[in-house]
């Protein structure tokens, strides 16, 4: 029997250049960000060019990730901004170096 590493789930916040926010949850952060960046799915993030990863946290529990996503989505904007700025005061795109320029920043 092989030992499997626990599955990871991510709660994340994206921002546009004008700092419009989106909160999401996924089990594959790299793939999901690629979808946001290439506008693979029509919706809020593609409409408003929200594709910069400004905050995320990982957990091994899908239930905890869903609960945390709902919690953060229920917060006022000011509280979300405080969470982002507590770890990323410059709102730097945390995934800016994950792909080549042609791959991830369409």
Confidence of residue 105 (pLDDT cuts 50, 70, 90): very low
| CA angle, 60 then 65 then 70, to 5° | 175
Residue 105 phi, psi dihedral angles, 5° rounding:
-125, 40
Asked, for residue 77, whether it belongs to a domain, the answer is yes
Domain range for 43 = 9-97
**Mean per-residue pLDDT of the chain:** 91
| Tokens 């990730």 sit on residue | 65
Asked, for residue 60, whether it belongs to a domain, the answer is yes
Asked, for residue 102, whether it belongs to a domain, the answer is no
pLDDT given for residue 23 in this prediction: 98
Asked, for residue 17, whether it belongs to a domain, the answer is yes
Asked, for residue 67, whether it belongs to a domain, the answer is yes
Question: Total structural domains in the chain?
Answer: 1
Q: Which of 29, 24, 33, 21 is nearest to 80 (CA)?
A: 21
pLDDT given for residue 104 in this prediction: 45
User: What pTM does this model have?
Assistant: 0.88
Asked, for residue 3, whether it belongs to a domain, the answer is no
Contact 10, 26 (CB under 8 A): yes
Asked, for residue 106, whether it belongs to a domain, the answer is no
pLDDT digits (tens, 9 = 90+) for 28-70: 999 999 999 999 989 999 999 999 999 999 999 999 999 999 9
Asked, for residue 74, whether it belongs to a domain, the answer is yes
Q: Residue 13: CB partners within 8 Å, gap ≥ 6? A: 21, 22, 23, 24, 53, 54, 55, 56, 72, 80, 83, 84
pLDDT given for residue 6 in this prediction: 80
Domain CATH number, residue 78: 3.40.1440.10
Q: How far is CA 5 from CA 8, 58, 77, in A?
A: 9, 14, 35
pLDDT given for residue 28 in this prediction: 96
Alpha-carbon distance of 79 to 84, in angstroms, equals: 9
């Amino acid at each position: 029997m092989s030992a499997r590493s626990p599955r990871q789930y991510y709660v994340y916040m994206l921002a546009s250049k004008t700092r419009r926010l989106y909160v999401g949850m996924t089990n594959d952060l790299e793939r999901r960000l690629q979808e946001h960046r290439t506008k693979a799915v029509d919706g809020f993030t593609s409409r408003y060019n929200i594709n910069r990863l400004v905050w995320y946290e990982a957990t091994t529990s899908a239930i905890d990730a869903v609960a945390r996503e709902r919690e953060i989505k229920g917060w006022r904007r000011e509280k979300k901004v405080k969470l982002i700025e507590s770890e990323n005061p410059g709102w730097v795109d945390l995934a800016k170096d994950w792909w080549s320029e042609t791959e991830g920043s369409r």
